[in-house]
């Protein structure tokens, strides 16, 4: 008999293995947790590895906040060869000689990509235009016009230069396509390239040492549900960059019922984490300068369900 899924809440930071889609990874972990509701934040290409935050139950309500977070990557570049997808999974479309440059010269070129700029999304991407994903059109041999998008690169550093290979790390804003960055770096140097390996090291404030490998998750699941569920992080850990507001029990009931409540006015405005006195997380509210706190994302518990 198939077991009914449970209302499991929390965030798990998966080190996604290569060769697996983000959704496939999510469904595997969801099944191991026997979780009723699940979502992931920020897809990784099947060939890519690294941090994929998985959200379960009420924690799916924080997915949007992680999508907007900065991300960092370790990138391995294959110089002299371009592919149609921009990575090693694609078909080679061009080759070019690799300029004889020193590590310092390569680093100078790479450093030139720091700061704010624009980028044209690749055809092999999940971006939708007129309701169709670009990769679906690309697989049919179609190319459509894409508008440049603003991106920001906060840190970029060359780690290794050896023959036909470059390795660099980059911390960037949401919406940055590393495959395009690699192609643009190669173009600046007078050659072509593709991304041979991509590993996402962090998402927002989540660093790599908090990730769990799929093999570890599977081993924990073999011991039962509780050992794996014990690895789930609370949903509010995603929101630590927001200010915290505490409200009394009566106001907590009103807030969870969709009503605005009043807190001491201190001129603060914008989104905030909301807690009932005693530190029970209630959700995300929006503060106005006069002290009104309006619910934006309510995290329902059995006690606070209206």
270 lies in a domain? yes
Among candidate residues 189, 215, 236, the one where a domain is terminated = 236
Same domain, 167 and 222: no
Kindly name the residue from 45, 84, 87, 251 that is annotated as catalytic. Answer: 45
Indicate yes or no: pTM above 0.85. Answer: yes
Listed in sequence order, the DSSP H helices in the chain are: 22-33, 63-67, 103-111, 134-139, 178-189, 214-222, 225-229, 249-256
Residue 5 is predicted with a pLDDT of 85
18 lies in a domain? yes
Same domain, 174 and 79: yes
Where residue 262 sits, what CATH number does that domain have?
2.30.130.10
- How many separate domains does the chain show? 3
Same domain, 115 and 64: no
Same domain, 50 and 84: no
Same domain, 193 and 283: no
Domain membership of residue 289 as a residue range: 242-298
Same domain, 195 and 161: yes
Q: How far apart are alpha carbons 101 and 157 in whole angstroms?
A: 17
Helices (H) and strands (E) in the chain, counts: 8, 18
287 lies in a domain? yes
4 lies in a domain? no
Residue in this structure with the two tokens 């690799």, named with its chain if needed: 98
Among candidate residues 203, 223, 253, the one where a domain is terminated = 203
Same domain, 230 and 259: no
139 lies in a domain? yes
Query: Is 251 a catalytic site residue?
Result: no
- Answer whether 282's CB lies under 8 Å from 230's CB: no
Same domain, 216 and 285: no
148 lies in a domain? yes
Same domain, 146 and 40: no
Encode the chain (306 residues) as per-residue pLDDT tens digits: 456 888 899 999 999 999 999 999 999 999 999 999 999 887 888 889 999 999 999 999 888 888 888 999 999 999 999 999 999 989 999 999 999 999 999 999 999 999 999 999 888 877 788 778 888 888 888 888 888 999 999 999 999 999 999 999 999 998 899 999 999 999 999 999 999 999 999 998 888 889 999 999 999 999 999 999 999 999 898 888 889 999 998 999 999 999 999 998 777 889 999 999 877 899 999 999 888 999 999 987 544 444
Q: Write b or e for each residue in 55-81: b if 16 or more Cβ atoms lie within 10 A of its Cβ, otherwise e.
A: bbbbbbbbbebbeebbbbbbbbbbbbb
Classified as helix, coil or strand, 15 is strand
Residue 74 is predicted with a pLDDT of 98
168 lies in a domain? yes
Where residue 152 sits, what CATH number does that domain have?
3.30.2350.10
Residue 306 is predicted with a pLDDT of 44
Q: Which residues contact 252 (CB under 8 A, 6 or more apart)?
A: 276, 280, 282, 304
304 lies in a domain? no
Same domain, 76 and 93: yes
Residue 3 is predicted with a pLDDT of 67
Q: Which residues contact 276 (CB under 8 A, 6 or more apart)?
A: 246, 247, 248, 249, 252, 282, 304
Same domain, 90 and 198: yes
Q: How far apart are alpha carbons 57 and 76 in whole angstroms?
A: 36
Same domain, 60 and 82: no
Among candidate residues 178, 203, 228, the one where a domain is terminated = 203
């Amino acid at each position: 008999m198939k077991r009914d899924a449970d209302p499991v809440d929390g965030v798990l930071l998966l080190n996604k293995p290569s060769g697996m889609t983000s959704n496939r990874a999510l469904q595997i972990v969801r099944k191991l947790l026997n979780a009723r509701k699940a979502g992931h934040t920020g897809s990784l290409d099947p060939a890519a590895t690294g941090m994929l935050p998985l959200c379960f139950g009420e924690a799916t309500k924080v997915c949007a906040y992680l999508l907007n977070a900065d991300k960092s990557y370790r990138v391995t570049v294959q110089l002299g060869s371009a592919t149609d997808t921009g990575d090693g999974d694609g078909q080679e479309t061009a080759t070019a000689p690799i300029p004889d440059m020193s590590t310092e010269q390569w680093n100078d070129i790479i450093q030139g990509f720091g700061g704010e700029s624009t980028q044209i999304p690749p055809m092999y991407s999940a971006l939708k235009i007129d309701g169709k994903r670009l990769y679906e059109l690309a697989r049919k041999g179609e190319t459509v016009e894409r508008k440049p998008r603003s991106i920001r690169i906060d840190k970029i550093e060359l780690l290794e230069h050896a023959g036909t290979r470059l390795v660099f790390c980059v911390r960037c804003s949401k919406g940055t396509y590393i495959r395009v960055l690699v192609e643009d770096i190669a173009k600046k140097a007078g050659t072509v390239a593709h991304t041979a390996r991509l590993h996402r090291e962090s998402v927002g404030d989540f660093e790599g040492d908090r990730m769990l490998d799929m093999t570890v998750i599977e081993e924990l699941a073999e011991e039962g549900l509780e050992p794996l569920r014990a690895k789930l992080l609370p949903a509010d850990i995603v929101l630590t960059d927001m200010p915290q507001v505490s409200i009394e029990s009566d106001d907590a009931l009103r807030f969870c019922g969709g009503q605005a409540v009043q807190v001491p006015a201190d001129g603060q405005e914008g989104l905030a984490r909301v807690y009932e006195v005693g530190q029970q997380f209630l959700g995300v509210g929006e503060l106005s300068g006069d002290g009104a706190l309006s619910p934006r994302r309510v995290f329902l518990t059995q006690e606070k369900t209206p």
